[in-house]
Amino acid sequence: MLAQSALLVGERVRLAALDAEKDAAAIAAWSHNDELLRLLDTDPARMRTAAQTRQDTEELQGKEQPKDSCYLFLIRALAGDRPLGLIDLAIPEWPHRDGWIGIGLGDRADWGQGYGTDAMRVLLRFAFTELTLQRVSLTVFGYNPRAIRSYEKAGFVVEGAQRERLRREGRRWDMVLMGLLREEWERVNTDALTTR
């Protein structure tokens, strides 16, 4: 028997398929949260329309056939099934078995409630048990200590810092490199691997 009967369900959230048509409006609305945009990536904060969002999504995960190089999920709250944000795992080169993670919760009110950490735990289990990856990586900005703490809680280790890579609000900020190896994850997640 497989130990995980509900691979994509956590304690507070589940990872659901993202429907480029149906979910575009919600995702576009999140792009009006400028704080999120500046925590999310290095692109200048810019609002997106639903049509642009739909196109982005299709490009990322493939329009008709899913792409092996990207697993993109909508994070939904278990209570009420409300969409909370996005999480994705990019595997540009399978031979090295490294996955690149991006995560964002759209609404400020949902931050700091444990949704992100739970979504990350579910994604890591998916990455290591289902996709059989060897490691996962992410980068985070020096001004985002809440995210760094959450990633550390999920098991990530700081592997370096690209000094002053970012310039925002007239200051320079480091880009922090983090990574998590399969063995490190297995050591603290034996329950996810044992057969019932």
Partner 1 sequence: MRSQLGDLNLYRGELVRLAAMDPEQDADAFARWSHDSEYRRLLDSDPARPERAAPIKADMEKRAERGDDNGFGVHTLADDTLIGFVGLWIASWTSAEAFVGIGLGDRAYWGRGYGTDAMRLALRFAFNELNLRRVSLEAFSYNTRAIRSYEKAGFRREGTQREWARRDGRRWDVVSMGILREEWERASV
Closer residue to partner 1, CB minimum distance, 5 or 132: 132
The number of residues that bind partner 1 (CB under 8 A) is 26
Q: Is 130 in the site for partner 1 (CB under 8 A)?
A: no
Q: Three-state SS string across 84-146, please?
A: EEEEEEECCCHHHCEEEEEEEECCHHHCCCCHHHHHHHHHHHHHHHHCCCCEEEEEEECCCHH
Q: Is 192 in the site for partner 1 (CB under 8 A)?
A: no
CB of 60 to partner 1, least distance (A): 19
Q: Is 159 in the site for partner 1 (CB under 8 A)?
A: yes
Closer residue to partner 1, CB minimum distance, 36 or 91: 91
Q: Is 152 in the site for partner 1 (CB under 8 A)?
A: no
With H, G, I as helix, E, B as strand and everything else as coil, classify residue 150: helix
Helix, strand, coil percentages, rounded to 5, for the chain: 35, 30, 35
- Residue recorded with tokens 């950490």: 117
Residues in the site for partner 1, rule: CB under 8 A?
Answer: 42-44, 93, 95-98, 134-135, 137, 157, 159-168, 172, 177, 179, 181
